[in-house]
Homo-oligomer: A and B are copies of this chain.
């Protein structure tokens, strides 16, 4: 008998939770029941799932009775509060927040890169940061073939990574500027930080708050998570993370240095053309390259502008784009659930 699963989504009304629920409609594994959970504020709202009405309930420690897979995306504090309850009830938690990502007992997984790490789970599995996921998914085939010594990345990140309030702020602020009206920034770059700046028609070099080393947490997530996912603490990784006025779709300007000599651009392009979850869009003669607007709503990671560094024979530049709510969050979480089932871990 094929096993059927009870799946919970915590943060069901958020930007990522909404996407998770849509993606669950079409998963390949059998679903016997869903629980859509939220804060008390959103509880009672109704959603339609596979043609049936589902009432959103307030998340409590007992919400996870009978749940097999619990997808969390309601902020780190909610994950810290309820993940252990879910695990105690026998669920496997797939957590989209940064709460557990660097915990040594928690696998941090991008299924195209390190699905084997799922076997070591102790109840909680972490979904990496959006900007990390798309980068490692694109770089993994290159690393597997030629080795990878160094990554320098500058990001062009969409506001939806900061949630629905950030999307609303970008829209209302853009309209205010176009109409010549006053506005007061209140959400970006970081809702909980001291100062807020204009995001419409601007670029802000701050995502998440600053750490003691003058990098932001977002930048250090890219550094530390990349090393963990790729199991290579010695890899050189540096990041500059920048918020730009895009609603959905993160773009990344990535420089890499491979280990092997004499690698050709055409070889890297061929690897990416055949890599799982990656789409090569790279034909400069015909202006073919990915961009946020062309990638939003799609599950894959798109790569273009692959070219040799002009000075370093082992250096290459490329442009990596993906939907930050899908592959960067909801879709990667769903893929982790599918991989757990395919590997018969659950």
Contact = CB atoms under 8 A, between A and B. Distances in A.
Interface of A: 150, 152, 154, 156, 170-171, 174-175, 178, 189, 193-195, 197-198, 201-206, 210, 213-215, 223, 236-238, 240, 242, 244-247, 249, 251, 253, 255, 265, 284-287, 289, 291-294, 304-307, 309-312, 315, 317, 319
Contacts of A244: 156, 203, 244-245
Nearest to A295: B202
Interface centre among A203, A255, A286, A319 (most CB of B within 10 A): A203
B293 A255 contact: no
**Number of copies of this chain that the complex holds:** 2
Contacts of A195: 286-287
Nearest to A172: B178
B197 A291 contact: yes
A315 to B, nearest CB: 7
A198 B296 CA distance: 13
A237 B312 CA distance: 10
B238 A242 contact: no
16 contacts: A150-B311, A156-B242, A170-B201, A178-B178, A202-B246, A202-B291, A202-B292, A203-B251, A203-B291, A206-B287, A210-B284, A214-B305, A223-B310, A240-B319, A242-B253, A244-B244
Given A174-B174, A205-B289, A251 B242 contact: yes
A253 B205 contact: yes
A202 B236 CA distance: 29
Contact of A178 (B175, B312, B317, B319): B175
A237 to B, nearest CB: 7
Most chain B beta carbons < 10 A, residue from A152, A189, A255: A152
Instruction: For the complex of A and B, list the 6 residue pairs with the smallest distance between their C-beta atoms, beginning with the closest.
Output: A154-B253, A154-B154, A236-B311, A210-B284, A214-B307, A240-B253
